[in-house]
Structure 1
Amino acid sequence: MPQRLTPLSPDGSELTIEALRQIAPSCITEVKDPQSGAIRQVVDFDVLRTLLGDRSVEAGTEMYSFIWPGKQAARREAATPITDTLRPVLEESVDWDSTENLYIEGDNLSVLKLLQRSYVGKVKMIYIDPPYNTGNDFIYNDDYTIDRDTWARQSGERDEEGNQYRKNPDTNGRFHSDWCSMIYSRLLLSRSLLTDDGVIFISIDDNEVYNLRKICDEVFGASNFVAQMVWERAFAPKNDAKYVSNSHDYVLMYAKQIANFKIGRLPRTAEANARYSNPDNDPRGVWQSDNLSVKTYTPENDYVITTPSGRRVEPPAGRCWRLSSKAFEERLRQNRIWFGSDGNGVPRIKRFLSELRFEGMVPTSILFHKEVGHSQAATQALNKLMEGGYFDGPKPLGLLRRLLTMANLAPDSIVLDFFSGSATTAHAVMQLNAEDGGHRKFICVQLAEETPEGSEARKAGYKTIPDIAKERIRRAAVAIRNDLENEKVRAQAKFAKVAMGEDVDKDPELWSNLYDDVERSQAQERLDSIDKRKESLDTGFRVFRLDSSNFIDVKRTPAELGQGELDLMLDNVKTDRSGLDLLYGAMLSWGLSLSLPQEVTVVDGCEIYNVDEGELVAYFAKAIPTTVIEAIADMQPKRVLLRDSSFASDKEKINTFELLKQHLNWDDKEVLDKVRVV
């Protein structure tokens, strides 16, 4: 008989055992659970110690480590499975049927647990801007020394919606410990989501940067540290500072496996290009002169050069020319040697910008605000977009764009931000796709933190931070599409002039690589590129909201239930849950992406859900007629999910599975592997 689909998120130990299996399979064995009798996979520590040899250490031995009160509890919490689920919110989504972007509301620790099966090893880049622990900002209430509900009742530190966040004043005896526990458990879960060549960026300031470095060294490995970048956050110093005007924040950068990571290089800047000019009107374009002499001495390259003015020039003492005399004469005939504007200078070789072999500029560890923006400009830009000041301290779009470049994303990479705030990450991903035609996807996670009573945001109708963020994404989408349309209008005007052979001034923003004699085909390619980018651009997002399990609590025994409750337990699905709730909960349990396309087929008035053309076919109605079973089989499913209460009896259930076997030509094992009930 097919098994029930588990409503639990993955146990952290499962992921650890799987990782051990990849590198040390001989230490994995099986035992029988003494209570359930089920066979479980476990680690044989004697075998593991043998494999490690003298590289293992016994408990109690002095060793280098970073310890704080609550660390072990935070580690256990990260590994503890949960029964929560993510419920789709179609009415707040944009382009639900076609988008691959996700916006998730809820406690990010729980969300990270729920994403483990579906997104393990799939996220190319993570960016987070967590609370800095200044004593005034909120942190998640992750005190695991007692039961969560008990703690919340005793401390009164849970809000009206049940969210676990609170202020962490510096008078708290666990000021640093609480923050470390909060970030530690989340980073432990985030690492498994990264691809082998993935990278994480974390914004932080002086309050916790030293602790965060130690935590990241443990979670990601000190050898995978890439950089601690300094972001010039402030546009101008604060003259009222008591001691020193703090003008910077940090961005920590760690790779999942640094041997697999390749840094994304930066495009040439206008400042770098400005060093190139064309004083002799060379038809090959702008150039820069370079020293013709070298330190490595070669006798055959030590000769005299005569300038156009007749002056004889020898290499500097101890040096020679980089070119042989024959190669020099060839470059001279090609007008690649420069003797100065008067023809009397020391010879130099011309390097043309158009011929430059350039893979990009290496990023630096200092992020200057003139290149990536500063906090004041970020606030002004967001206020303009939102037509009001509703969010404090957003990160500048330019900063996220720089990090996206450094992450060396593929055109279809996934970018995760689980402290997403005002959704700058989502904005930056959409804009990058608009510029280069990529299909990168974002996953944003944000706690439904309420906006303050009486604030401008609350007055404007934004009750929570996600309300602001979702509207920011919608408005950013409109602005990005408008920019593309404006680019097309200008390109069409340019195309018309080029087609008519008119001599027009170049628009450096759009046509820096096109000259007045550009061919019609080049202009047409530009127009086609804009149309393709507009057509492929994904500016939608599916909204999901963290909630309790879709299923009624069945921890109590029948003896503890009244007759009315027993009747309710015949169907274990909560009465307020829809078929879509069950479908997406099942997708998380089965490890399917939440962005997969999904459609509904109606057969005899019954709805059948088909995810990604048969990856998962699900049916949740109260009865299951034969025509529905046949329709499910016609969809050639790889997985089938049915509602247990759809069957009037075990006999009917067995008959249904036999029909599936016949229509799909499955054997008993395939049915057990591919069919689940809820």
Structure 2
Amino acid sequence: MTTSQSDGSIEFTPVGEATTLGEIDGNIALLASLFPDAVADGKVDLDVLRDLLGDDAEPAGSEPSGLRWVGMSEARRLSTLPATGTLLPRPDESVDWDSTKNIIIEGDNLEVLRLLRRGYTSKVDVIYIDPPYNTGHDFVYDDRRMSTVQEHEAVAGHRDEMGTTQTGDGSDRAQDRRLASARHAKWLSMMYPRLLVAHALLKETGVFIAAIDDNEHARLKLLLDRVFGAENFISNVVWQGGRKNDSRYISNGADYMLIYAKNEGHLSALETRWRERKSGIDESLETAAEIWEQSGGDTAHANAAWKSWLKKAKDSGVITDSVARYDQLQADTGRPMNTYGNITWPGGGGPDYDVLHPETQLPVKKPNRGWLFQEPEMRRRIADGLIWFGKDEGTIPRGISYLDEMDQQVATSVFEQDRKAASTAMRKLFDEGIPFDTPKDHRVLSRWLSLVSAGNPDALVLDFFAGSGSTAHAVMSLNASDGGRRRHILVQLDEPVESDQFDTIADITRERHRRAGKALTSESTSHSETLDIGFRSYRLADSNLRPWDGTSEIDLLGAVDNLVDGRSTDDLLVEVMLRLGIELTTPVEEREVAGATLYCLGRGTLYAYFGEDVTTARSIEVARALVEWREENPVDSDVTIVVRDTGFTNSSAKLNLEAAIKQAGFTTFRSI
């Protein structure tokens, strides 16, 4: 992948030529591959595209139903722009940089998401966000394109050069309504491009969760229907977090979690089912075993004690009815069981046959609708102890289920958890006081992250409104409980806070991660030694290369002096990884060669060298080192080599390197 120049020199393909789906060039390339007749010279002919799509294409100027707001088109366009910045690695504020798979990024999340798009498209299992609620205050996420109320009115047709077109308290353009309309549009325009990029990052089996309150719930639901498709909506979960007795009408103490699948049809085809372990089941089984042992096999005494404990546990919230209904202990074994299973045919017309009572050997009373099972299956269940009989044949038998075999349950869409518990958890971590006003409860997040990922122990979780870092705490807690290897990526803006300890919310995010990790490892669980409590810290910054404006082909080092002062070759390496779509936690090895660092990524799939003053002799030394390292790390896939274009003293040095590595079998070359 080199280009010969008229002066005999060569030019490696710039790293910036890479593109991906979601960016404008990537979208056009995909359309060209699907509908080549509709794309000519990189331009899309919309009339041809409509012809090819037939009746399913909306005609120009149509007004389909759905959420609309002033600024929507511009917000959508922002999602398609390629990233123009980079991430600067900060090992100094990280934990276990060399070994961790977790990431915390400080900076505006829209630009960060665009940077992550190439390396993480279709790789994220769960996205959880708790975006800023629309309280009417100024947004810190302004994207440099938020409109004033006057601008909003002008675009919406409510204002002309003479002023507002309708005035007066009785008008539907009254001041409060005009202000609210602009405020909602502003919030939606902030959310829309971020959701579009986030959608691309999810796997086909991925799940998205957004926390929201009443102010924007309705609009966010419609917005998510647009981004994910209404057919992929899973649930509107209600989190009742407390009661407000001073409320005039109703205590609106609920928040919501809107849950969407990336592709519900795909999940269904895989027969995916979300189940969770019943609350309090382990304690219940242990208690039942103790009661049975203390009873000495006296079933009546044991059942009385067991029912008493169940009532107290349910009243205190330790268990729910899903456990409490197992209110009998089986004779001889003491296993908690439920004997109220209906074994009659729904609707009537079920099998009709005699079932003998095990004691009287007389046919038991038959249900009017017939039996639920065919006779062979009924005999098997009786033999396996799964059918309950009354004291004589006058009672219709019922099905038996055992608690230790029914330990999983489907989650309900409403749950209660006092939000004060989250502040209590933060207080335990920060002895100096709680540095964040509204932390989310990491235990609640652990529950839902595990549920929607179907217990996947290797799930990658993304939160791009990280706040205090509850999501990271939740992921680490899950891993500590079951030995999982889940990873997380957190993104948080460097929003200032009024605190003697911290300058920004991102500082709080990192510090909570450090303290939560230490707290979890100190608990000495069976998984504490293998728990990944580290994170790699990065900060969003302008590109390492001055002239890059993101609007044209990126000749990343077209001049010797275009490297930003103070940037290192490690910084350049991260930018290369982002541009080429390489995950940030990809293993990196280093060797000193010809006065600079030679990097090896992915155990031999990519090599990078950013040395300066590379003479012909040094280029031969670099080529030799590349060949030797490649022989030590042979790979079946293509191997890419990235060099610093202006690092060579002359074209001869560059030609010598190109010839040597080409002769050695390397085929893909890039420049930065």
Q: TM-score, normalised by structure 1?
A: 0.77
CA distance in 2, matches of 1:231, 1:381: 18
| 1:456-492 residue CA offsets vs partner (Å, 9 max, x unmatched) | xx22x21111111111111111122122x1x4xxxxx
Q: Which residue of 1 aligns with 2:422?
A: 378
* Aligned match for 1:13, one of 11, 14, 24: 24
Q: Is the 8 A contact 1:301 1:322 kept in 2?
A: no
Q: Which residue of 1 aligns with 2:276?
A: 266
Q: Is the 8 A contact 1:374 1:396 kept in 2?
A: no
Q: Is the 8 A contact 1:89 1:543 kept in 2?
A: yes
CA distance in 2, matches of 1:462, 1:477: 19
Cα shift at 1:132: 0.9
* Aligned match for 1:450, one of 491, 496, 502: 496
Q: Which residue of 1 aligns with 2:411?
A: 363
Worse overlay, 106-115 or 73-82: 73-82
Q: Which residue of 1 aligns with 2:531?
A: 537
CA distance in 1, matches of 2:375, 2:65: 62
| 1:298-335 residue CA offsets vs partner (Å, 9 max, x unmatched) | 7974437447479874224x244456778767766665
User: Structure 1 residues 574, 241: CA separation in 2 closer, same or farther (over 3 Å shift)?
Assistant: same
Determine whether 1:246 maps to 2:252: yes
Cα shift at 1:47: 3.6
Q: Residues 165-564 of structure 1: matches in 2 within 5 Å?
A: 171=179, 174-234=182-242, 237-261=243-267, 262-269=272-279, 270=281, 271=320, 272-276=322-326, 279-283=329-333, 285-291=335-341, 293-295=343-345, 301-303=352-354, 305-306=356-357, 308=359, 313-316=364-367, 318-322=368-372, 336-339=386-389, 346-356=396-406, 360-366=408-414, 368-369=415-416, 373-387=417-431, 388-408=433-453, 410-452=456-498, 458-459=499-500, 461-483=501-523, 485=524, 487=525, 530=526, 533-553=527-547
Cα shift at 1:60: 2.2
Q: Per the alignment, in what secondary structure is the counterpart of residue 446 of structure 2?
A: helix
CA distance in 2, matches of 1:189, 1:640: 29
CA distance in 2, matches of 1:173, 1:291: 54
Q: Which residue of 2 aligns with 1:69?
A: 70
Q: Residues 596-607 of structure 1: matches in 2 within 5 Å?
A: 596-607=586-597
Q: Which residue of 2 aligns with 1:594?
A: 584
| 1:574-604 residue CA offsets vs partner (Å, 9 max, x unmatched) | 1210011000000001110011111211235
| 1:277-309 residue CA offsets vs partner (Å, 9 max, x unmatched) | 554433383322144651466797443744747
Q: Which amino acid aligns with 2:494?
A: A
Q: Which residue of 2 aligns with 1:571?
A: 561
Q: TM-score, normalised by structure 2?
A: 0.78
Percent identity of equivalent pairs: 38
Q: Is the 8 A contact 1:419 1:446 kept in 2?
A: yes
CA distance in 2, matches of 1:321, 1:281: 26
Q: Is the 8 A contact 1:126 1:200 kept in 2?
A: yes
Q: Which amino acid aligns with 1:676?
A: R
CA distance in 2, matches of 1:257, 1:332: 42
* Aligned match for 1:4, one of 5, 8, 14: 14
Q: Is the 8 A contact 1:85 1:548 kept in 2?
A: yes
Q: Which amino acid aligns with 1:134?
A: T
Q: Per the alignment, in what secondary structure is the counterpart of residue 276 of structure 2?
A: coil
Q: Which amino acid aligns with 1:614?
A: G
Q: Is the 8 A contact 1:7 1:83 kept in 2?
A: no
Q: Which residue of 1 aligns with 2:572?
A: 582
Q: Is the 8 A contact 1:103 1:541 kept in 2?
A: yes
Q: Is the 8 A contact 1:84 1:547 kept in 2?
A: yes
Q: Which residue of 1 aligns with 2:305?
A: none
User: Structure 1 residues 189, 448: CA separation in 2 closer, same or farther (over 3 Å shift)?
Assistant: same
Cα shift at 1:363: 2.3
CA distance in 2, matches of 1:474, 1:390: 15
Q: Which residue of 1 aligns with 2:85?
A: 84
Q: Per the alignment, in what secondary structure is the counterpart of residue 52 of structure 2?
A: helix
Cα shift at 1:646: 1.6
Q: Which residue of 1 aligns with 2:315?
A: none
Q: Per the alignment, in what secondary structure is the counterpart of residue 174 of structure 1?
A: helix
Cα shift at 1:195: 0.9
User: Structure 1 residues 21, 123: CA separation in 2 closer, same or farther (over 3 Å shift)?
Assistant: farther
Q: Per the alignment, in what secondary structure is the counterpart of residue 2 of structure 1?
A: strand
CA distance in 1, matches of 2:369, 2:261: 43
Q: Per the alignment, in what secondary structure is the counterpart of residue 239 of structure 2?
A: strand
User: Structure 1 residues 137, 472: CA separation in 2 closer, same or farther (over 3 Å shift)?
Assistant: farther
Q: Is the 8 A contact 1:411 1:438 kept in 2?
A: yes
Worse overlay, 471-480 or 636-645: 636-645
Q: Is the 8 A contact 1:439 1:536 kept in 2?
A: no
| 1:27-51 residue CA offsets vs partner (Å, 9 max, x unmatched) | 46441xxxxxxxxx44343442222
CA distance in 1, matches of 2:235, 2:383: 47
Q: Is the 8 A contact 1:96 1:540 kept in 2?
A: yes
CA distance in 2, matches of 1:292, 1:123: 42
Q: Which amino acid aligns with 1:583?
A: L
Q: Residues 42-61 of structure 1: matches in 2 within 5 Å?
A: 42-61=43-62
Q: Residues 25-44 of structure 1: matches in 2 within 5 Å?
A: 25-27=35-37, 29-31=39-41, 41-44=42-45
User: Structure 1 residues 291, 97: CA separation in 2 closer, same or farther (over 3 Å shift)?
Assistant: closer
CA distance in 2, matches of 1:575, 1:590: 23
Q: Per the alignment, in what secondary structure is the counterpart of residue 256 of structure 2?
A: strand
Determine whether 1:635 maps to 2:615: no
Q: Per the alignment, in what secondary structure is the counterpart of residue 140 of structure 1?
A: coil
Q: Residues 117-156 of structure 1: matches in 2 within 5 Å?
A: 117-136=118-137, 138-144=139-145
Determine whether 1:610 maps to 2:600: yes
Q: CA RMSD in A?
A: 3.1
Q: Which amino acid aligns with 2:423?
A: T
Q: Which amino acid aligns with 1:197?
A: T
Aligned residues: 569
| 1:63-105 residue CA offsets vs partner (Å, 9 max, x unmatched) | 3242212112212222223421111001011111111111000
Cα shift at 1:399: 2.2
Q: Is the 8 A contact 1:135 1:170 kept in 2?
A: no
Q: Which residue of 2 aligns with 1:498?
A: none
Q: Which amino acid aligns with 1:13?
A: I
Cα shift at 1:144: 2.3
Q: Is the 8 A contact 1:622 1:645 kept in 2?
A: yes
Cα shift at 1:632: 1.9
CA distance in 2, matches of 1:44, 1:427: 49
